[in-house]
Structure 1
Amino acid sequence: MSFMHVKLTHQAPVAPWGNAKVTFENQQALIHLSAQEPTRQAQAAARKLRSQGINQVQLEGKSWDVHTQWAFAQGFATAKGDFDIHWCGTDAEKTLLANQFEAANFAKKLTNATPEDLSPVTLATKAAQWLQTIGGSNVTSRIIKGQELLDEQWVGIHAVGRGSERPPAMLELDFNPTGDDDAPVAVALVGKGITFDSGGYSIKPSVGMLTMKCDMGGAATVTAALGLAMRNGLNKRVKLFLCCAENLISGRAFKLGDILTYKNGVTVEVVNTDAEGRLVLADGLQAASETKPELIIDAATLTGAAYMAVGSSYNAIFSPQANTITQAQRCAASVVENVWPLPLDPWHKDMCPSPYADTANSRPTKGGGAGGASNAAGFLWRFVDEQTRWLHIDLAAAFEDNDSGLWSAGATAHGVLTIAEMLND
């Protein structure tokens, strides 16, 4: 196997190859970095190298650090997986990068899987099995599916998923390394796991439906983050809740005008069946709140409004607590991921009014109207224990529809490192 050796240099190139500032000497590529945005430059250079059919690289030299190596790997990776990267640096750095790569690759493979291959129960099962291989006897789990969801009053997941022949499911998983069955829960993670989103009766156009295998990216992200934190020595008790369903059309599917009565008594009128993510997350947030954690983190590919606000290089974050926003920003910066806070005030809870129920699940206008991402966060806030710190992450950066100068098409796993860092914070 022939590896291209790749080094970093801070010298200006004599004859750079393209905007990525790459030059070649025999079997060696030199990436010429300037002082600003070195990780972004490394990622762009990796995309340039990959576009030339280079599949195997050996990173070399003392100029590489963990962050530039990781950025290079993100740009070099493709959904097909036909590549090989050899890390450099200390053994500790190589181990850290290998752990990050394992977690990100798990999230990407899940997110890129076809809807046919990844049913709601399969998603829950694969997540539990992978975490079990890492955590062993410290991990226990159960999957609640189909009619069992109604028996336990998880009405949102059941409603969204009942239109499919493949049953909806909630994964409840407990990672408890303390040895104490009564140990407090430090963090509860909640992930949106819509394995395919047709939009339901508020059906999406074909072009908008094509990439909707990615709508379980939140579930993949929180699962991968927990696995990474465990690999890196997590010693706190963490609960995981995945809200898994297919949003399809049939004679059994939920409809516009339906009213759901949630476990906490909140009634919700369905005015848009394509605003289904918040309906399933409402169950997960209630389940998480019941465990009395210090912090709840949910992640979801929730709104196009967040994407319009922050673009595809940032994830939008929301919290009622300023210190939680600050923690998320600090943790994201430490792993060179991008988050940006959007507004969340108590009145956002009331921005989706209904004449028939306590709230609607959206506004009956295209995209949910102005401030749609904040309104969605306000809806979710109704289902979080008021005494618990809470962070909502709208994953605008979790998936690329097409190849770009930084990413290949498909899942990015952007957000995994941030959440893992918060778990170990």
Structure 2
Amino acid sequence: MTTTTSIFLSNETHSTGWQSNNLVQIIDEQVHIYVEPDSLYPLRDLQRAGRKVDGLGVKHINFVGDNWSAEQQWAVALGFTSVGKLTSVDFCGDQQAELTKKLAVYAWARDLTNQTPAELYPASIAEKTINYLSELAGDKITTVVTSGEALVEQGWLGIYNVGKASINPPCLLEVDYNPSGDANAPVAACLVGKGITFDSGGYSIKSNAGMFDMKCDMGGAAVVAGALAIAIESGLEKRVKLFLCCAENMISGHAYKLGDVIRYKNGVTMEVANTDAEGRIVLADGLLAAGETGAPLIIDAATLTGAAVSATGGDYTALFALDQQAADQAIAAAKQVNEPIWQLPLEQWHQSKCPSAFADTANSRPIPGGGPGGASNAAGFLSRFVPNQGKGWLHFDIAAAYNGKANECWAVGATGISIETIATLIR
């Protein structure tokens, strides 16, 4: 193959040369992709074709011809891009510039998630996010990083306790995107991301296999930061705040322990039943910070539970909400941008699913995976920390955010799925 390979969308197959169920044909070092007209999942088929093109050893692609829609090009690009070539795509057509900008944001978020634990730790994810958003928004953003013992002074005890065992101190990053410059402008939306840059499981230690991919446990932070970036790129005129809850969940003599009780700023006490259910512990602080802004829309994203992966097979983002109108808007937004999402159960009574004799709640149940309904129970725990009984709050358990192994649709590593859905909601 040449350095850049042209990709054509064919209206019909030819007699020879087709590979992989008539998805891909190579003619004179050009790649032709064909999807059956009656396919139930044409965009998924195109993404699968993108994986096949990647498997041919192609380094860079450009779309050629008048047949391509923006959605079709994006599907192939998601399948084709992989570590080392996350932006190696040239789009065509009227939306070429928009697609190129979107791919750059996805590439940034995916690369951030793929970085090693040595490269990415709480202070560095905060710094990288600040630098990236500053490049896009300039003086329209201001930032505050609260780190280490300052977290205790300000009452952010969830983040502090999860991260206190690490040599790299935990932090809470607040990014205020305020395009009007008016300090009294209302906050239209808040985004909250789980930024666990490495998760050993703490004293509820993971197995070697279970720990291997845990550099990706900050995928929620990358997704919400990416969503804000895309919204800014598209001319966001609303004030939006971003909160990243960043920590390494490590083991030391200073680590938090099973049976510890943490008191949050809203007075809720929580007994630690599982140190490997740390994501919800840090997100509680971020949700409380978001609630203090008075924003009518609060969205959090996290690689939170294995239960969500089990429920969706890793193909969907798992959505939770107590506000069905907000959930319906999220489902509509996801459908609009072709990002798979599935709503799972959540009611107010899920708050009581992790009981404790020594506190208002535990963070989980001391049984494998937190027991039945683990993803809903985690969302129920989070719902204790949002205002207005959950009105305007959406919880994204991003089960599809990372793949430890390549599959028919995705390369190994981060996917960025749900970035555009969340960007659409805050726009």
User: Which amino acid is the alignment partner of residue 360 of structure 1?
Assistant: A
In the other structure, the counterpart of 1:47 is 51
Q: Secondary structure at the match of 2:372?
A: coil
In the other structure, the counterpart of 1:89 is 93
In the other structure, the counterpart of 2:401 is 398
Q: Secondary structure at the match of 1:192?
A: strand
Q: Structure 1 unaligned runs (5+)?
A: none
Equivalence map 1:69-84=2 (5 Å): 69-81=73-85, 84=88
Render the CA deviation track for 1:344-402: whole Å, top value 9, x for unaligned.
00110000000100000001110000000000000000000126410000000100010
Q: Percent identity?
A: 49
> How far has the Cα of 1:225 moved from its partner?
0.6
Distance 1:382 1:83, change over 3 A: closer
Render the CA deviation track for 1:11-56: whole Å, top value 9, x for unaligned.
2453421236211211221111123222111111111111111112
**Which shifted more, 56-65 or 284-293?**
56-65
In the other structure, the counterpart of 1:414 is 417
User: Which amino acid is the alignment partner of residue 353 of structure 1?
Assistant: P
Contact 1:200-1:249 within 8 A present in 2 as well:
yes
Q: Secondary structure at the match of 2:393?
A: strand
Distance 1:13 1:253, change over 3 A: farther
User: Which amino acid is the alignment partner of residue 418 of structure 2?
Assistant: G
Separation in structure 2 between the aligned mates of residue 307 and residue 341 of structure 1, nearest angstrom: 13
- The TM-score, its normalising length taken from structure 2, stands at 0.97
Separation in structure 2 between the aligned mates of residue 20 and residue 262 of structure 1, nearest angstrom: 57
**Which shifted more, 71-80 or 369-378?**
71-80
Separation in structure 1 between the aligned mates of residue 211 and residue 181 of structure 2, nearest angstrom: 45
Residue of structure 2 aligned with 1:258, choices 249, 257, 260: 260
User: Which amino acid is the alignment partner of residue 59 of structure 2?
Assistant: N
Contact 2:60-2:85 within 8 A present in 1 as well:
no
Equivalence map 1:327-342=2 (5 Å): 327-342=329-344
Equivalence map 1:162-241=2 (5 Å): 162-241=164-243
Distance 1:130 1:177, change over 3 A: same
In the other structure, the counterpart of 1:378 is 380
Separation in structure 1 between the aligned mates of residue 176 and residue 4 of structure 2, nearest angstrom: 42
> How far has the Cα of 1:145 moved from its partner?
0.1
**Paired residues, number:** 422
Distance 1:28 1:306, change over 3 A: same
Separation in structure 1 between the aligned mates of residue 304 and residue 22 of structure 2, nearest angstrom: 33
User: Which amino acid is the alignment partner of residue 343 of structure 1?
Assistant: P
Contact 2:177-2:239 within 8 A present in 1 as well:
yes
- The TM-score, its normalising length taken from structure 1, stands at 0.97
Q: Structure 2 unaligned runs (5+)?
A: none
Q: Secondary structure at the match of 1:382?
A: helix
> How far has the Cα of 1:83 moved from its partner?
6.6
Distance 1:4 1:258, change over 3 A: same
In the other structure, the counterpart of 2:7 is 6
In the other structure, the counterpart of 2:270 is 268
Distance 1:374 1:98, change over 3 A: same
Contact 1:55-1:83 within 8 A present in 2 as well:
no
Separation in structure 2 between the aligned mates of residue 8 and residue 141 of structure 1, nearest angstrom: 45
Render the CA deviation track for 1:153-204: whole Å, top value 9, x for unaligned.
0000000000101100000110001232111111000000000000000000
Q: Secondary structure at the match of 1:23?
A: strand
